[in-house]
Every structure is written in C-alpha cells, then in structure tokens.
Chain A
Amino acid sequence: MNLYVCIKQVPDTETKIKLNGDSSGIDAAGIKWIMSPYDEFAVEEALRVKEKNAGSTVTVVTAGPDRVVDTLRTALAMGADNAIHIELPESADSTMAAKAIAATLKKEAQIDLIYFGKEAIDDGASQVPQRVAAHLGLPSVTVVVGIEYSGTTLKCKREIEGGSYEMVEVTAPAVIATSKGLNEPRYATLPNIMKAKKKEVKAVKLADIGVSAADQKIKTKNLQLPPPKQAGKKIEGDAAAQAKALVAALHNDAKVV
C-alpha cells in the first residue's frame, strides 16, 4: 500500500509564546519545535498498516520553512520510508497549505490512504485534512480514534460531541484525520534515528506545483496574547450573601449577565 502522512511542526507544548516585532506572528527565537502530537498518531497508524501489509511504503509530507525538515526526520526515525518537504512561507494559512499539499500529492503515482492529525496544536484550525480531501476528491473521516481494516474498506470510530462515538465506513483511497486514543506512538530506535539522518528529503518548490502568495487568504495583522490570568476572588458570607455578591460581580465586573 502507498501510505501518506501529512504532518506539521509546531512549538512544544511548554513553550511560552512571545510575539514578533510587528505582532503579525510569534517570535520563533528560542522555540523548541516538535511534531504536532495528533500527527504522531497518524504516523504511528500508517507504520502499523505498513507492518501488516508487506511491500507498503510510508511517505511523510510537511509544508513550511526549512526548519520543518527536522520534523520529517523525526517521522523517518519512527520508520517512515520517504519524506517530502514543501517549501511554504512561515505566514501561510490553511488554504494555502492545503492547496500546496494537495497539488504535491496529485503528482504521486498512487495513493491508498492519507493520514493527518485531526488538528495542529499551534493554530488548532482543523482545516487542512478536509480541504486536501476536497481538492483530491476523496472522502475524509476526522477525529478518528479506532480503525478496522478489511481490504479497501475502513470502519472508523469517530469521537463526536458529548463523549459519544459514531462509526463511519469509508473506502480507500481516503483521508483519515487521527485523534488521541487511536494508538500509542512509538519511540524511535537508535538505528532508525541514525538511518533517518541520512535519508533523502525531497524538496518541492511552490512554483513547481502552481501555488503562489495569492493562495493565502488569511493574513494575520495584529496577534495578541491572552491577558494574564487574574488572581481568583473568594466570596465570603452565607449562601444568600454569596449568591448576591456573585451575581453582582458577574454583572458589574465581568459584564456577562
């Protein structure tokens, strides 16, 4: 099977985000970059499918500035066979990223399954998997926490609102967006880390796939950090007095009632 996994490099969850000079984005200095955790489930899933189906290959794809190649290497170390780096500017939005990824995938000879993480933990937009599916004319199943494979049919368990699940059946080729619970991503073995350092990463330029700056529909002008957390207030008194004070605070200070 020809398995593709689209991944994104994001700041580590512990990063204290700072804004850049003109507030158009975040300050990249000092950030530790990681693979978006939901994408790890996607890579792991593709690797497991590959291990069960002899002769399969796993190709990882990412889009972004040069530093994202490190994340491709992380996926290669986990066991992916090939890697494609689409050179996308830092400021690109979901529309542009999806178009670039779809255009790149279209050039691949054969695709059986495309895995994504259900969202990237940086902007949390949850846009790209479905958009890519639309560009490629493929069905997509999102927030997948369980898959049963039989031939080209996939029975997917999706997590939906309220802690419930729904079962969706889909036929490959398809786009699958994975979520936590699907599997436990592996820790790369050292021989694989060593091999990954030497593997070739195929570079794709935007011009090669017909994507340009015009494809970016959203431009960030003024990013703001959330206001620092205020210390909590303790309301004293008996129940009636507390209720009164609470309503007053919600009405006058927070202006929500």
Chain B
Amino acid sequence: MTWQTFAFLIVGGFAALISGKRFHTLYLLMKAKKGTAPKFGEVARRIQTTLVNVLGQKAVLESPVIGVAHTAIFWGFLIISLGTVEQFCMTLWDTASFEFIGHPLYSLFIQSQDLFTALVLIGVIVAAVRRLIFRPKHLGQSMDANIVLLFTGGLMISIFMMNAFHSLTHPWFADDYFISKHIADGIGHFGFDEGESHGLFTLFKWIHMCLVLGFGMYIPGSKHLHLVAAGPNTYLRHLDREKGMKMINFEDETLTQYGVGKINDMSWKDALDLYSCTECGRCQSLCPAWNTDKPLSPKNLIIDLKKNLHANKEAMLAKKEEEITPVIDTHVTEDVIWACTSCRACEIACPVFIEHTDKIYDIRRNLVMMESKFPTEVQAVFKNMETNGTPWAFSPGERANWAQGLDVKTVAEAGSAQDLDVLLWVGCAGAYDERNKSVVKSFVSILNKAGVKFAILGTEETCTGDAARRIGNEYLYQTLAKANIETLNRYNVKRIVTACPHCFNTIKNEYKDMGGEYEVFHHSQYVGKLISEGKIKPTKSIDETVTFHDSCYLGRWNNVYAQPRAVLQSIPKVNLVEMKQHHDQGLCCGAGGGRMWMEEHIGKRINVTRSEQAIETKATTVATACPFCITMISDGMKTKDMADKIKVRDIVEIIDEAT
C-alpha cells in the first residue's frame, strides 16, 4: 500500500458516490413511472439481437463512415476498460497486476491496449471532424457531444503518455507497447531519468484515472448515458417489424386517466428509451415532418421529453403529483404532436431502438380522450366514424354501392365464408372515394379473371378504426374494431385480402388483441400469389417507366417491399426505377397517422415533396398500393402541374390492364 492507495480510496470513493447517486436517481425516476411497459418474452431472440447490435454494432453500421468510427470507439472502450480495471487494482494494491495470466496472454493484453487506444483516437478524430467541420444538419451543435469527445480524446492521449513512460521504466515491455514505444522514443530526447519518468508515468496515470472517474460522474446527465442504457434498450427492443398499438382496457374502472399527460404517465421502458438516445439525428434526417419544416423532430422530441423528466425529478420522487408539469410545454407543443404521420422512419432508423411513435400516440390519447384537444377538422371525422362508420360523410347504407352492376357477392349472400377463398375487405376509401372505387373495381376484375371465390361484407363492413386510433381516440377505435371482429367471427372468416395498407395493418396486427385472428393479405401480396400460381398472366406489355411509392404501413410497418415491386416487374416492358428515397428510407405521402384528415398548415406540403422525388426519376407512372398515397400523390402532381404527364395508379390497375 502506498499513498496512492489512500488517495485513490478518497478520490474514487467520492466519484463513485456521486455517480452512484446520479444513476440511482435515474433508476428511481424509471420506477416512479406509472404506465405499463410491454412484456419482454423470447429471451433467445433478445440475446441474439443484443449480440448482433451491441457487440456487432449492426444498427450503428447502417451509416458506414461514422458507424465504423463508432465501432472502433465502442470496442476500444470495452478492451481499454480491462486495462483500466487493472490500473485501479494496481493503484489500490501495487502487485495486483493481471500478469498472472501468463506471458503470451499478458503481452497480447498490453498490445491490445495500445492498438485500441489508437483506434479510439482515430474514431474520435473522425467524429470530431464530422461534427465540427462537415456538420451534418441532423446532428446539430451540441456542447455535450464536444465535451464527451474531449473527454475521450483526453483519455486516449493520457493512456499513450502513460504507456510511453511505462515502457521507458519497464523496457522489457517496450516491444508490447508497439505504438506508444514510438512516443517513448520521442520522449527519450528530453533525457528524463528513471525517477522523472516514473513520476510522469504516475502523473499521466492519475490524469487518466481522474478522467475516467469524471466521465463516470458526467455521463448520467449526458447523451452518453447511452453507454449504459443502449445495451439494455437493445435487449428490450420491439423484436418484430410488425407492431400493434398498445391496448387500453376501458372495462378497468380503476383507470381514470388515459394516455400520457405528464411524464410519469409513461412507462419505465419509455424512460429507458429517453436515457438511450445518442442524439445521432438519424431519426430526424428521415422524418417527413422535419424535412418539410414542421416543428416536429423525433430527435428533439426525445431530448425534450428527457428534459421534462429531469425538470420534474423532484416532484416525481416526492410523489407530488400536482407539481408535475404537463408533457405539452413550450418545446413539445401540440403542433409537434399533431405533425407526426406515424411513418415510423424514425424508429426504423434509430440505432438504439427507441420507439418514438408510442410516445406520440400516448400523448395524443391524452389530448383527445382527456382534454378533447385536437385539430378542429378532426371532430367531423370522429363524428362520421361514430355515426356512419366511415371518416367520410357517407351513409353506411351506401357502402356497397360501388359494387352495383358488378359480379360481387356479400358473405351474407354467399351464406358463409367457409366456401370462399378469401374475403375482400373493401375499406372506406374503396367504398366511398371515387378514385379508389376504381382501384377496388380493378382488383375485383383481377380476382374474377383468376377465378378466385371471394365476397365482401357489404354494408356490414365498417371502418377499421385505424385513423381514430392513430389520432388518439382509442375508445372510438375499440368500438369500431369490436363491431368488425364480431361480424368477421360470426361469418367464420379466416382469410382476408384488402387493397388498403391501413386496413391490412390494423386487421393483421391489431385485431388479434381483441379476439380477431385472421390470415391477412395486402392486395400486392395476393396478386403476387396469383401471378406465381399462374392464375393470372400479365402478358400485355406496358411500355412505361414506373416508380413505386412505398406506403409506410406496407413497408416500414409490415416489411412488404418486394412483392409490389415483383408484381410490377412481371409486366412485360415495365421499366421500374427507384426514387431517391425508397424502402426503409422512403418518404411518407403525408397522410398516415390520421394526417389524411388534418389540414397541413405549417411548412412545405409532404405530398408535394414526395411528388417532386417521383418527378425527378423521369417516370411516366407512379405506382402506389394505398388509397391515401394515391390521393396524396395525385394531389401533389396536380400542384406540380404534372397531372397530365405522370399517371398515378394503383398496382392492381396496372396489372388489370396487363392481364
């Protein structure tokens, strides 16, 4: 034991106390959350995803340059931490080195320290150059990030200096310090004697240790909390691509508050999400709202919610409910919350699997169901859904009018769903909207050509409730869903096909929580199946350059990217081209999340922005697979004066023409 033992006990103990307390507060804040977190089964898959994404850095590497730099820093930290542990041990007890592992291994250990120190330093330089010189827009300027880069750079430099002096006093290790020995060579010119070298080694060791301890105290309040939180958050991530919104049990009479009005209404998992954010801005750079000058940035939303959590720390821990301030404040405004199209680009891009849409939905639920606050134009939509079972102002009695004169039976006429191949779910757009009626008619024509036995529910169908749910009116959603599930189950329906990705997503991923389990196809999948089974043959050529616009609820929410493209490519002469944003990076048409039913007052119109991307491809046809997309892109083309030059058609209209 030396003076260092005592010094370290005092300094280390102090630092451990401070950071321990700060982490403990974070833990208590998680515990003070009232909302229910999802269940976390499937341990094997969770371990796998953690290995792949934490150790393997898969999600981080989606951005190549910074991904590699981050991987170097991440692995460097893991390896160098081993050296730091040894350093702490030896400071406490000077013979407690790791040399007991034997010569070749210990050599390797030292070499690895040197190697990874260099890699981290390079990583830090890349990150600093990017942050301070290239300044990508989505990153923003962050003092916190600069401090952390300084910390990390300082740590690495202190390690190199420490190792260099160590190799001077311990020349038998010099070969293992294969990088720092070159620094030692340089230092050699100053002619330090052994005592001085040893003293300087101790100095740099203490600089290093103090930086480590300082870092430990700093991170709980920094974006670098992700060092600790992102691992668990990855383990607890939503595992599947498909995701249903969480249910509220309205039968539960103890529930007096719905959605999130205050930050403690969220669940502990939401808090962990907030702790995990690295402020990388990947979510923001793909957000259709942000990119068209709306006040919503998913990154800022997460940062602001985290600030709200910290601002309400005292009140939450003291359980002073009335002192906790609302989540809607000067940063997270109502406009922020209503700007979201629920396109999910943010979640898919997030390297630490933060779920932004859940938080937005929860806040909407509170605004709608508790406060009755929402864009005024939505009230008529809710009322239409309540009385007529459709967001449009049409009578439920007219729901099947589109099928007049066509050979389309209702399930009631067919007797039962048992003898049917599939039930055609028409959806409100297909039933009432002129443009989309013709899409459904084309689909019916294809089904008839293929000899598919199908039927519709006719006037017994009602709105799936998707828009109500995403706007935050869970109560209305459940009323509508219950009626539909009751009808579908009464007819014993097993298989459903629909031309609407919103209906598709809701019936497939959300009705099962209310007792509706069906095999559900989107029409692109069904038509793909008919083509591969040879039941329809697209033999007529269509000599057009076609670009396919991904619907969010087909692509990002259900991973259906390949089938609609394959369907288009099965047509002779079709030349399929991609827009600059497609697949997971595709740009929303602007209508999801109930935005179809709201005015777009702020910024540039999303549909126009998307239409411009389509125009850039020089395509002559934009193919869509969603009633909202077709409406939005058609409008966008009109705004751009391109409506007579570029056709906007659903894929089934194109296939119907080709068969």
- Residues on A facing B (Cβ under 8 Å): 12-16, 30, 32, 34, 184, 186-191, 193-194
Contacts and interface: CB of A to CB of B under 8 A. Distances in A.
A187 B387 CA distance: 14
A16 B395 contact: yes
B395 A190 contact: no
Contact of B475 (A13, A14, A30, A190): A190
B394 interface: yes
Contacts of B393: 13-14
A240 B183 CA distance: 103
A184 B370 CA distance: 18
B398 interface: yes
A34 B387 contact: yes
Contacts of A34: 383, 387
B279 to A, nearest CB: 36
Contact of B369 (A12, A13, A16, A190): A190
Q: Is the interface of A mostly helix, strand, loop or mixed?
A: loop
A191 B398 contact: no
Contact of B376 (A30, A184, A193): A184
A194 B370 CA distance: 12
A32 B396 contact: yes
B364 to A, nearest CB: 13
A14 B396 CA distance: 8
A34 B382 CA distance: 13
Given A14-B394, A16-B395, A184-B376, A190 B258 contact: yes
Nearest to B389: A32
A250 to B, nearest CB: 33
B322 interface: no
A189 B388 contact: no
Contacts of B372: 186-189
Given A32-B396, A189-B370, A190-B370, A12 B387 contact: yes
Contact of B370 (A16, A32, A186, A191): A191
A189 B256 CA distance: 12
Q: Which of B382, B393, B395, B398 has the most CB of A within 10 A?
A: B395
B532 interface: no
Nearest to A32: B387
Nearest to B369: A190
Given A189-B372, A190-B369, A190-B370, A16 B397 contact: yes
B379 interface: yes
Given A32-B396, A184-B376, 10 more contacts: A13-B393, A14-B394, A15-B397, A30-B397, A34-B383, A186-B372, A187-B372, A187-B374, A189-B370, A189-B371
Interface string B360-403: 00000000111110101001001110011000011111100000
Given A187-B372, A193-B475, A12 B397 contact: no
Given A186-B372, A190-B370, A193-B475, A32 B398 contact: no
A191 B394 CA distance: 29
B398 A16 contact: yes
A12 B385 CA distance: 12
22 contacts: A12-B395, A13-B393, A14-B394, A15-B397, A16-B397, A30-B397, A32-B387, A32-B396, A34-B383, A184-B376, A187-B368, A187-B372, A187-B379, A188-B372, A189-B369, A189-B370, A189-B371, A190-B258, A190-B370, A191-B256, A191-B370, A194-B250
Contacts of A13: 393
Contacts of B368: 187
Nearest to A15: B395
A67 B639 CA distance: 48
A122 to B, nearest CB: 15
Contacts of A14: 384, 387-388, 393-395
A40 B164 CA distance: 82
Q: Which of B256, B258, B372, B384 has the most CB of A within 10 A?
A: B372
Nearest to A33: B387
A227 to B, nearest CB: 20
B92 to A, nearest CB: 59
A191 B383 CA distance: 18
A184 B394 CA distance: 22
A255 B650 CA distance: 49
A234 to B, nearest CB: 22
Contacts of A12: 387-388, 395
Interface string B472-487: 0001000000000000
Nearest to A188: B372
Contacts of A191: 256, 370
A221 to B, nearest CB: 27
Contacts of B398: 16
A94 B284 CA distance: 61
A67 B99 CA distance: 87
Q: Which of B256, B371, B396 has the most CB of A within 10 A?
A: B396
Nearest to A190: B369
A67 to B, nearest CB: 14
A180 to B, nearest CB: 13
Rank and list the top 6 A-B pairs by shortest CB-CB distance, nearest first: A190-B369, A14-B395, A32-B387, A12-B387, A189-B372, A187-B372
Nearest to B253: A194
A34 B368 CA distance: 21
A14 B374 CA distance: 24
A186 B393 CA distance: 19
B370 A187 contact: no
Contacts of B370: 189-191
A3 B258 CA distance: 31
Nearest to A12: B387
Contacts of A188: 372
A16 B396 CA distance: 9
A221 B250 CA distance: 47
Contacts of B383: 34
B396 to A, nearest CB: 7
Interface string B397-440: 11000000000000000000000000000000000000000000
A102 B179 CA distance: 99
B308 to A, nearest CB: 23
A187 B382 contact: yes
B439 to A, nearest CB: 23
Nearest to A14: B395
Contact of B388 (A32, A184, A186): A32
